[in-house]
Structure 1
């Protein structure tokens, strides 16, 4: 491996390019001052004469806002119920700009302003210009006499008219140039007014054409509706398909009524049969009859009352008389007689219910026959009803179409009677007469022409001087001394023991002393080494005293920052926290970020003596390994070098592996000899963790704090 002792390119070296002799160039320019001053003065005089003799051109501007001018009173009925208005997009505004620049608008404006009688717009009315005549004769200028008077006027009109959309808006600017300021303002306003009038005329024409077309369609469709409805009624009368209530046919209504009657008769029959069967079961089994029909019978109610009286007397007499007493026998006979009468009345009620059930069955049979007859009638009328529905649908479709056309015709007729339909644009700024010429701008024109001529003349003089070789010379001898040595080259970098090479004591080399020169050489080695991840992550760790490791990390970080790299120092040494104290007591750090007490930007602080940044350990104890690794990974995406000050090598393998996974190379700061077992063990552990290179430095805590 090439160590820091490799040769580093020294300084800038001798000049290899040709330097310009500015003093010689200045002398050459001064010598040719007349060649510069004369064209400059000529340009000054010519530009002044040109802007003074040039007829000034005045510009006026009118502005139009493109918007939907319809209101709730002028908008068509279909648009009122259709929701929001259609949005005016970029293409719509640009289309309106082209309408402003159309020939129809131009002809109308030219006619109203009588531009054909103004020499400014018709070259044929201007005075004789010999220069222009010569150019026309040579074919270098167009002969206006070959065009018609209208073409000449329109060409001049379009040359003076400018219309464009104002950026990021629906506003159109209309600018018109003229030698007459009043004409410029009047023409700009006239173009805006003619544009709006053209929109209104187009809407009126569309509305009138729609009204005429709808009128003919409505008349023809009205006749079709009358014919279709007449066919429906004629067919209904022939087929006897009259409609009753609820818009249903009489046959369907009759079917529904018969079905409901049959259902009621069957329910009545079933109810009578069920009650008769239950009462018959009560009588057959001799159980007490507890039924509404029995209990509600007036005769049975009186018999039950008499029976209850006999039972009461029987109970009273039984307390004093024996069972064979005549009075007891008489009461027993009365009870048996009353029970027989109650049973006889119950049988009568059963027979009545059975008769009711038979009557209901007979009614069901009669209604069923009636239903079958109605069904036959409905079957015969079904085909005719299908034909009737076809005719009704056709008539309804024509009626709906007629109503739609009638609504549109009324809407179009109402809009056609409006005096002026609203246009899709309105004037928001009328053009005013301007007394300030738009062209030429006298002072800017004179300055631009004069300065441009002077710079052109100076350029020509300098170019000729350079080609002649007068003001340039080779910069030989300009660097009289040796090249300024680079800061790292001026220091003879001691050899560094690194992973992948024999250990330092085996080749007879002592460990590297932690001096400013060796740290500078180490920084140069790290800068020159391969860095596939895009960020160099260096772990600085000590075998005994973590304060020495903090000093080496600080010196290494400042050296890397001095070389122009973006560097951040991360303090992982909780015991010493030397780097944390540098940025202030209680500064937010890794533990604060891990606990959510500080944001990521709050834990990054600046070093007062260098351009590198510092991330302290924090105030809330040791952060988790996952959060520390996350923070280092995030810093690696923003910095070119991350220096991790880890203090003393941890004894726990898990903690050591977590530190090794965050770095790509390492610096071991030791206080012992090369043969010290703990130095060798630290070197082997870091190499085994995959870090490369691993550099061993000798330092004491006092020396590094002083550094």
Structure 2
């Protein structure tokens, strides 16, 4: 056993918390940030350049083969200029909507040129149903090319199960679909439609909004046929425009003929209606009759005014007499009012008799006969006056009645005249309407008749085509497709881009860490270094912890010293207690612990390794010593510390094995005795390394990490999953551990140099001549 009397705490020893981050929140991975490094991108492309080269080479070669095997196609072009239409049959747009052309409607004529109807006439004109280019039965047999010998379609079809093909077809393999029977005429019609479709596939018409020129091009593997098809399409289009104008002129003539007949009938009907209306009016001069009726109406209005005046005057006199007669002295009052000579004479006689009677009364008294005679005479006179008043009153009543009758008669005559005038006005309105209708129908009839005569006398010279060919198509000398150089260039560029995409896809799918900068970029934790994989005949048979001693000048030994130096410099004061852990088993944390401890011991430091993995202990196996008593027994209190510390004979390193398989290792590691052990080893050694179980497997490492000066996280090159590593580091940081950095273990230095530009791997590869073994 080892005597611990020399284990004294070094002077000035101080634990400092500065170093890497103690929280995962600030790392790029936690923030979800994408870090772009142009140098890294270029380095990645250079490292995987063979993938890009292979992809570009294969796709470019395939493109070259495809271009060489492609059927050459020739394009022949004819040019037409479309003139304004000169149809003059009729100016009514609804009659001749035959396609007046201008620069802004050239696209319409382009669509006409590419229509199935026009294509069908070309097919019939050139008898394309019997042409080898469109009838496979007439095509000459050609030897198959290299690509045609490869039955890719059959190969792909063989990969698809039968039930999938049945589902895509919509029928089951068990169902028998009987072929439909067609007549020869129907088959010929269907084949003609297929030929039209194939012919239109080679037609292209280009129209410009700034001119009336149409460019007709046709694509065909036969240059002569390409020119023939373009010219035929142009010529048939020109002929169609002439036929269309003749047809439009014929339609206009028929329409005009029909309109002339209808308008003639309409004019005759309106004229007959006008004459019938005139006959109903008795051919009377409307203006003269209107003047007579107006004069009569004016005179009757004057007579009516007079009759009303006479009737009013008679009515006033009659009403006055009636009123006077009803009074007490009505007769005398009425007699006074009435202007009658007889009444005046009677009144004078009455006045004379009254005067005589007054004189007699002054002379005679009583019933003198002369008084009685005078009284009787006075009475007779008054009786005569009364009778005369009554006669005049009756006469006034008769006059009033006559005046009323005259007034009523005059009013009746006026109403008759008014009705006659109104009837005459209505007849005049009807007459004017009929006259206007006759005039309008006559004007339309004359206009249509004149246009009909003009159309009828147009000669054939005016029926010219609205399009003319300004450039006929000629057979091209060189094929327009395939453009081999362009195809190869596009294939090369596309394949290069595809190769670059494939490179970054592979990089993205790669789950492990390949370089130290990558570790820091993803986790935010600084890398401490790498442990190279032992290569070569001299190193391959050695274990890592032995290579440190037997090959002290090797690349591996120098890498271990570099890691130990990085740990020492991770804080202002060199850490004494360091925890070594990883994400999963097999990442090399035990080898890293032993290598660092042996390297420190050889350098003269007091170093010790404690195997804290009591479930799967490995330190004793790596050092080829028995695991009799160790950490478990000490934590259980059955042995003392001096009894479990052992010394490595080759390096002088101290170590403590895990001991027996304790039933409760987590509780033991979390005990007060373990905390005291960490403090004692930190005080007694320059470097105490604690080899713990993986972080993701169990929580033993998290229990110990908070008591350590520093923690080192080991990840295996290209093997440790990035997500697993980031989760493990996050767990350490969240447990308030002080993580010094990450060690990338078992690195293939040659491959790593392609990833670690400017890093440790790049340095080791560059300066390999300085190392032995």
TM-score normalised by length of structure 1: 0.38
Q: Which has the higher contact order (CA 8 A, sep 6+)?
A: 2
TM-score normalised by length of structure 2: 0.35
Larger Rg: 2
